[in-house]
Structures are given as C-alpha cells and as structure tokens.
Amino acid sequence: MKVLVCGGAGYIGSHVVRVLLDKGYEVVVLDNLSTGHRQSVPEEAALEVGDIRDAACLERLFLRHEVDCVMHFCANSLVGESMEKPIEYYDNNVYGTLCLLRSMVNNDIKHFIFSSTAATYGEPERLPIDEDTPKHPTNTYGETKLAVEKMLHWMEGAYGLHYKVFRYFNASGAHPSGEIGEDHAPETHLIPLILKTAQGIRDKIYVFGDDYDTPDGSCIRDYIHVMDIAEAHILGMEDLVKSETSDVYNLGNGNGFSVLEVIEKVKAVTGKDFTVEIADRRAGDPGVLIASSEKAQKALGWSPVNSSLEYIIETAWKWHQGHPEGYGLV
C-alpha cells in the first residue's frame, strides 16, 4: 500500500514517515520545503518537492504514483503569526487543502488523514476536552483547521472521500534514534526553547504568565510524544481503509503539566541549571488545555505509551544535543 505524506519533511510528518516505513508501507513525500527539511526524509521514501496549491504538480504526482491514502501535514501552524498573516494561513491551510482534495477526487483517491489541532476548541468550556467540546477558535490558525474539518464533512457526502482527523494537543519529543526532531525557525515552542536554554544557546527561558488560575500560576498543557502521534496515524489509516468510516479524535495523554513543572523536569533530566524569568502572558493563551483521548484509545486501540514528560524530554534532549543547529542550512 502506498501512502502520500504531504508535509512529510516537517516535524510531525517526518516521524510519521519513519513509522510508516518501519511497518512496511511505501511512502511518497510531497513537501515544498518552506519549513520542512530535506535531510529529515530517508532515502527509502520518494521525495517530491512541490506545493499542494500547484494543481499540475499534484496531477503529475498522482500519475507517477498509485496512492491509496493521503496524509496531510502541510500547514502554517504558528498561532501568533496566524493573527498577523491570516491571508497566508487561509491560502496554505484552507485553499491548499482544497486543491489537494480536488486532485484526490479527480484521481479517485478516497482515504484522507488530516492533521488538526486543539486550537480548534479555543478557551474550552469544560475539562478534559473531548471531541464534542464546543469549538470556538480564538486564533486564525485554529479557525483554518476547523474550516477544513467542516469541508471534509461535505466532501464525504458528495464524493465518498473518507477521512480521519486528529486534533493534537502539545506535540513534543523526538524519534528515539535522535536522528530527527523538532527544528522550527523561529522556534516558539516551550520544550525546545527550554532545551536550547539548557544547552546555553539561549540565555534564559521566559515563563509567559504566573497569574493563571492554576496551582503554580503558570499555564498547563497536555504534552503528547510525536511517536505516539505517529502511531495513531497508522492505526487511524488502517481502520479507515478497513471500515471506510470517517471520524475525529483528540491526541493527548490526559495529564497536564505547568510551564514551571516542565522547566523543573528539564533541569532534572539534563542536569543543567539556567535562568528562568517570569514575563507577561502571551496573547491568546488559554490557562489550561488537557485532552481526553479516550475515543482514540477505545476505537483505535491506541495508547500514549511514550508520553511521560520524562521520556518526552529525554528524547528531545538527545535530538538537540546531537543537532544544536537543527538540520543546519540546506
């Protein structure tokens, strides 16, 4: 079975590619390398450099490769940036996905796995967040992902295109080999920023707000290991191909950790001490986001086995130590 992984050179996509190959699937990666890294794509995967908004490129790709399932990770995904550049976010995340779906329909490809986000929920009305929690995105990024989720519903009715949507909470950690990991420019995510501080690449870590309604005042998030996310995608795809049933699942581990707790854990795992400074809240940050992933666990037999905070930090630390400059310049 051949799987097209759009965005397979990015952080989450590259981990999914490794797990697909390990399980014996044939993999084609489509990536425009705007934020992805050529070096993260192993030789066993065919890399096509191109953009999902380029209809001719998609048609050529589907002519060359008989694809059974498309996994879609291409997106702009920075909350702050999405508020400043909504046109770019709608263009890549919504219009880009529309182009991809159009080409899939033209080529009679009926299985689609979509990468969505906890940002679709906004400030949640209840905790833990299950899939039926009302969705009121507080930023353009979450809104564009929700727009695609809605689009998929109508596509299924009209074209029989079946899908699984995964809403990730805080993706983190790295492949246990230390060969691939998180490399964003600019980096805005908490765990890589703390690790860069532990390495001495940054001089301090800022805690964005210590006056939230949480035990220590800092924000609480649900960190989920990227290998658990990858495993869920394969289970979701296998279920989709067998059952032809579309569904939406949260992916989190159900445990929340505060920013200060994550910092303490990094100090313990790395044995490094560094400066921590309390700063203002970051605009748009909800105080607490914790997932219920019971649905994925029950329906797909998935379990977040790699998602202890310690293992997340250990694997990310291994990646950062081996790649202090990430993948380096292409």
Identify residues 219-258 at the interface with ligand UDP (CB under 6 A). 219, 221
Identify residues 44-103 at the interface with ligand UDP (CB under 6 A). 79
Beta bridge partners of 251: 168
Residue 259 in the binding site for ligand UDP (CB under 6 A)? yes
- Cβ 234 to ligand UDP shortest distance, Å: 24
Query: Nearest to ligand UDP by Cβ — which residue?
Result: 219
- Cβ 116 to ligand UDP shortest distance, Å: 13
Closest listed residue to residue 5, CA positions, set 46, 55, 39, 35 = 46
| Nearer of residues 179 and 187 to ligand UDP, judged by Cβ | 187
Residue 282 in the binding site for ligand UDP (CB under 6 A)? yes
CA distance 137 to 154: 21
CA distance 304 to 252: 7
**165, 116 in Cβ contact below 8 A?**
yes
The whole-angstrom distance between residue 84's C-alpha and the CA centroid of its chain comes to: 21
In the residue annotation, 163 being an active-site residue is answered as no
| Nearer of residues 103 and 120 to ligand UDP, judged by Cβ | 120
| Nearer of residues 130 and 285 to ligand UDP, judged by Cβ | 285
Catalytic residue among 141, 163, 168, 223: 141
**135, 121 in Cβ contact below 8 A?**
yes
How open is the CA angle 138-191-96, to the nearest 5 degrees?
A: 45
Number of other CB atoms surrounding residue 253 within 10 Å: 24
- Cβ 190 to ligand UDP shortest distance, Å: 4
Instruction: Indicate if the alpha-carbon torsion angle 173, 186, 58, 250 is positive or negative.
Output: positive
Identify residues 178-217 at the interface with ligand UDP (CB under 6 A). 188-190, 193, 205-208
Residue 138 in the binding site for ligand UDP (CB under 6 A)? no
Residue with tokens 């569904």, as numbered in its chain = 247
Give contact residues for ligand UDP (rule: CB under 6 A). Answer: 79, 170, 188-190, 193, 205-208, 219, 221, 259, 282, 285
Just list the catalytic residues: 141
